[in-house]
Chains A and B, each alone.
Chain A
């Protein structure tokens, strides 16, 4: 990759201490539990694609993303667009934990009149920067935000998260060309490459590989890492920040349904029904370190 991390300062590349790593791991366990609990309380939801994002959301909200829960639209904040909007529940657990809204809201998920709908909605939920749910659109909107930040000369970063199935959408690649052409190096994007979409394995529905090669060919500064490994995530984000002139794509190899024994890796875990009993059982299992 041209440029790469060589220009990063020492401070920027500072490796996480063992204690920091332990704190992130504990936090991820907590957010995973809250997400399983919220969806289980309702009885059905997008559990698979929520759980594959827990480590990413944890490291963003507890290490990299500038934000202020008391002022969700703070001009100097970093922005985040969850383009695979159906993973809202994972983001809601994170935002609640960070204090954007009361934790009791998590049990209102998808109930009539809730402020936490299945798919992310900027008009309803504090801390949500863009309304998403029609796959592909959020990523273009993220590019619009990044372009607007450039016009304003606002140095904030724009984090965007897309799915591998979502990458079937032509709009993703329209946005990819736009961001590269406009040199939107304030974008740090992640593909949650969990190898599954609704109808099955991505390589059976519509094969995407070589995915990192595609992004590089579209002019993006591209890395491919294990999306459940905090040290790899941290290094990739710092590497992206230290490289200018190109937008950044971090393809994360992940496991759909990660950490919940009843659904991890299951091809049917996209939008799954499970009882609250089951949720509490698996939460106890996670707490017990199994």
Chain B
């Protein structure tokens, strides 16, 4: 697979699923052009519902449609999907025992020119508190397609954190994925880079190459699924390398870093030292993605530097 816009993969995957399963419906809140589900609507006009700029309404409508057996994929920017409609996702979807797939787009710094108002650094922290849901953040076009298919087949509500822009593939098209399972992208012995989401996983892979040039062997884990978290893969790697760097395009607390810290704190042994990379209790701001990655210290070279610092300390 070549570099591909993630949103195009999302729309194609849903359209393909819809051809075999008439329960699949798409819900949008005046961001259909952004999410890119126009082709779905063209093919299945009856099953694409645009509610207008009304995210709370959208998620309760989704819950209602789910009571009738439909499987709604409801999308909006990640900030509004979670902050603005949290009670609706919580109650009308998850608490009600229903099957709604909430899609939050433009994670973290990828919100770029939309700036701080639109930059979700807290969406994962919010949805992690909802019992019984799945949370995934695919890292490339291949994992996105597979995980959307899997999430569609599961009976519970879910949050899909969707990077909209193009990403290069990290996996062959034959790779298989499972909700709740991470992937070891590169094995190593000196440090574990546990990264979540397209930008972070790509940067972790580059960081591992930079570190290799300096004689440091880094293992890269593509976490993919925040809930359920693949404790087995993360703990095994942690015990092997003794140092884990969690890397997320999100606050370093309440997301991946916290989930890993909880895992380590409750383990009988001390599996590894943990350094949490991510946003350090700051708001987002406007800028290019590259500028923001530098500002928040999430470039490949920042990851490599953090590893070296931790290995020294």
Contact = CB atoms under 8 A, between A and B. Distances in A.
Contacts of A151: 25, 46-47, 70
Interface string B54-93: 1011011111111111100000000000000001100110
A144 B60 contact: yes
A10 interface: no
A178 B61 contact: yes
Contacts of B188: none
Contact of B61 (A122, A133, A136, A144): A144
B68 A122 contact: no
Size range of the chain A interface in the assembly: 20 to 34
Contact of B63 (A123, A130, A177): A130
Nearest to B60: A140
A175 interface: yes
B96 to A, nearest CB: 4
A139 B88 CA distance: 12
B1 interface: no
A265 to B, nearest CB: 31
A240 B43 CA distance: 34
Contacts of A81: 64
A137 B95 CA distance: 13
- Most chain A CB neighbours (cut-off 10 Å) among B59, B64, B65: B64
A138 B56 CA distance: 11
A136 B87 CA distance: 11
A178 B51 CA distance: 6
Interface in A141-183: 141-149, 151-152, 170-171, 174-175, 177-178, 181-182
A174 B54 contact: yes
B264 to A, nearest CB: 35
Contacts of A271: none
Contacts of A145: 64-65, 67-68
Nearest to B49: A147
Given A141-B67, A144-B62, A148-B70, A131 B95 contact: yes
Interface of B: 25, 46-47, 49, 51-52, 54, 56-57, 59-70, 87-88, 91-92, 95-97
Q: Which 5 A-B pairs have the closest CB atoms?
A: A144-B64, A140-B60, A141-B64, A144-B61, A148-B68
Given A137-B91, A140-B56, A148-B68, 16 more contacts: A81-B64, A131-B95, A136-B56, A136-B60, A137-B87, A137-B88, A140-B57, A144-B63, A144-B68, A145-B64, A145-B65, A151-B70, A171-B88, A174-B51, A175-B61, A178-B54
